[in-house]
Every structure is written in structure tokens, then in C-alpha cells.
Structure 1
Amino acid sequence: MDIPLIAGTVATVVFAISNLPMLTKALRTRDVSSYSLVSLGMINAANAVYSLYVFTLPVGPIWALHTFYVVSCAIMLVLCVAQRRAATRSEVGHRVPAITVTDALERVTLAPAGDRSPDARAWSGAPRRDPAAR
């Protein structure tokens, strides 16, 4: 083996090992909320373009390192997108339903000014009174 090949192999192993804790934690916890979706998207796009170069080189440590980066970054992107979608779905499911235009139109009565009907008081913010309590 020559020196460049040994150096490439050692660097590949060190880079891969340095990324394993982040990747295993993300896979174990499924929590990637601290990662930027835009950044992960850009990294994956750059990896795709860089692959055009790397895979034209002779097979060697760079192939292993780049393949590791492609796979690990793709996993992180998938986890990040899945977490964002799940968060969006849970937020939508827990929101108080907003009043729709149709509901509002059904509640609004075209009453003259000074009308003290229960519907008019409800929209004016005045307290409601039971009509039977008069």
C-alpha cells in the first residue's frame, strides 16, 4: 500500500467514526429538531453533485467515505422531514377550531342599532342574559 492510500483509509475511518455518535443518537431518539432543514437539503444536493466527481475516480477510500456521507446525510434529511411533518400534523390536530365565514354569517343578524337580542349581545361582548329571567 502506498502512503496516499493509507492516509485516505485512515481519514475515512476517522471521519466516519466522528459522525457515528450524531447519527446513532438521531436514529435512536428520532429527535433532529436542532438541525436545519435547509442545511440538510443543501448538504444532500451538494452530495449528489459531488457524487458525479467521486464516482469517476478509481475505487478507493474516497468512495467509502463519500458513500457514508451520502447515506448518513440522506437519513438525517428523511428524519428531519418526517419530524417536521409529524409536528405540523400534531399542531393542526390540537388547534382550537377557528370560526368559518359560514359560521360567522349564520350568527350575524342584521339588527337595527341598539338591538338587545342574545345574538347582538354575543357579538358586542356584552354579557348574555337568560330571556326567561326578565
Structure 2
Amino acid sequence: MNLTAFAGVLSTVLFASANLPMVVKAVRSRDLASYSRVSLALANVGNVVYTIYVASLPFGPVWFLHGFYLVTTAVMLIMALRFRSVASPAEELGAASGADTR
């Protein structure tokens, strides 16, 4: 393995390792109140557009890293839409004001 391939593999592992705890916590807690749905949507659109570029590259570590980002940002957006819509309007208003509605 040459140096550039090793750097690609290492950076893929590091980036994925840095983001995986956030995704696991979000999946376990189903608490995505601190995530902006607009930001998650833009990240997904950016990932879809970036796929055109990645597909033009030779197969390598960047494909795995991009695949990881495609999956995790899609999961986060789906969860943000699904679990935020479950809350009642009163709960959403209370969460926005910092009040405990339980």
C-alpha cells in the first residue's frame, strides 16, 4: 500500500470514528432537538451532488467515506423528521422555551 492510499484509509477511519458516536447517540436517544433539519437537508443535498464527483474517481477509500456520510446524514435527517413530528405542538413550544412540559 502506498502512502496516499494509506492516508486515505486512515482518514476514512478517523472521520467515521469521529462521527459514529454522534449517530449512535441519536439513534439510541431519539433526541435530535439540537439538530437543524435545514442543515441536515442541505448536507443530504450536498452529499447527493458530491456523489457525481466521487463516482468519477477510481475506487478507493473516498468511496467508503462518502458512503458512510451518505448513509449517516440520511439516517439523521429521517430521524429528525420522524421523531420531531411525534411531539405535540405544546411539547415543541415548551422545548423551544426551555420549559419542562412533563
Q: TM-score range by the shorter chain?
A: 0.7 to 0.9
**Matches of residues 36-75 of structure 1 in structure 2 within 5 Å?**
36-75=36-75
Aligned residue for 1:91? Answer: 89
- CA RMSD between the two structures: 1.0
Q: Which residue of 2 aligns with 1:81?
A: 81
**Matched residue, 2:14:** 14
The TM-score normalised by the length of structure 2 is: 0.85
For structure 2, the 5+ residue unaligned runs are 91-102
Q: Which residue of 2 aligns with 1:28?
A: 28
TM-score, with length taken from structure 1:
0.65
Give me the identity figure in percent: 49
**Which aligned runs of 4 or more in structure 1 are off by greater than 3 angstroms?**
none
Q: Given that residues 33 and 83 in structure 1 are in contact (C-alpha distance below 8 angstroms), is that contact kept between their aligned partners in structure 2? A: no
Relative contact order higher in (CA < 8 Å, ≥ 6 apart): 2
Deviations 1:104-132 (A, max 9, x none): xxxxxxxxxxxxxxxxxxxxxxxxxxxxx
Larger Rg: 1
Structure 1: which 5+ runs fail to align?
93-134
For this pair of structures, how many residues does the alignment match? 90
